[in-house]
Amino acid sequence: MKKSNKAVLLTAASAGLAYGIIPTLVEKTKYRTSSDRSEKIIYLTFDDGPSEYTNELLDLLNKYDVKASFFMVGLFVSEYPEVVKRVHDEGHLIGIHSLEHRSALLCSPAYTNRDFQETLTIMGNLGVEPKYYRGPWGEVNLWSIMNTNIHGLERVEWNVMAEDWRGDTTADIIAEKLIDRTKNGDVVCLHDGRGKNEAPARTIAALRKVLPQWIDEGFKFRLISERTMNE
């Protein structure tokens, strides 16, 4: 390979690292290592909705008087406005999870600006004023960080994932992962939309098993807005 071509590749790689990869790693590391572990509290969060499964999930949460934080995709918000209203009216937290669920690592600055502006407009038209943001796959770029700062949005990651979106998993496997992995102060990331082979249905089935066990173990459930960070 010619030196000029190597230089171009190195420049492009460096730009990619600085634009999205390094900021994403910093955000995830900072968030996962900073939390209050002194109390039996779980922060239950759901990404990729709303969807046709969200009402069933809300019924389950209501049964156990559990409040959760929902990070919603803008276009799905437009598709399910009544579900969004129910989430809001029942005291759950609503945050932003992008407009179309695109990776921030692949989004240009111009698209990133549009992503935030259109999603905030869609939610604002429903009377929702989000204060929290989680990028798809937890990824950010320099422009998404800038937009969260401009719009007063706190960036949210997670501590626990159960791979509930996978098409080859089961409700039992998801439940086992949640029980084994979740500790005091953890932010649990699950999904009430998208995923393979009706994935949200398996997530809800897993929670039917896990929620009573967590409650029996003395765990309480809080919104992301109630989370204490140990910086």
Catalytic residue, candidates 47, 164, 186, 192: 47
**In sequence order, which residues have a C-beta less than 8 Å from that of residue 44 and are 6 or more positions away?**
66, 67, 68, 69, 188, 190, 221
Catalytic residue, candidates 48, 97, 191, 192: 191
DSSP-derived 3-state class of residue 184: coil
**In sequence order, which residues have a C-beta less than 8 Å from that of residue 195 and are 6 or more positions away?**
48, 164, 165, 166, 167, 203
Classify burial at 50, counting beta carbons within 10 Å of its beta carbon; exposed 0-12, middle 13-18, buried 19 or more. Answer: buried
Q: Are the C-beta atoms of residues 74 and 122 closer than 8 Å to each other? A: yes
Distance CA 149, CA 224 (A): 18
Can 47 be counted among the known catalytic residues?
Answer: yes
Question: What is the phi/psi pair of residue 189, to 5°?
Answer: -105, 115
Q: Are the C-beta atoms of residues 86 and 127 closer than 8 Å to each other? A: no
Helices and strands: H and E segment counts in the chain: 9, 8
Residues tagged active-site: 47, 191
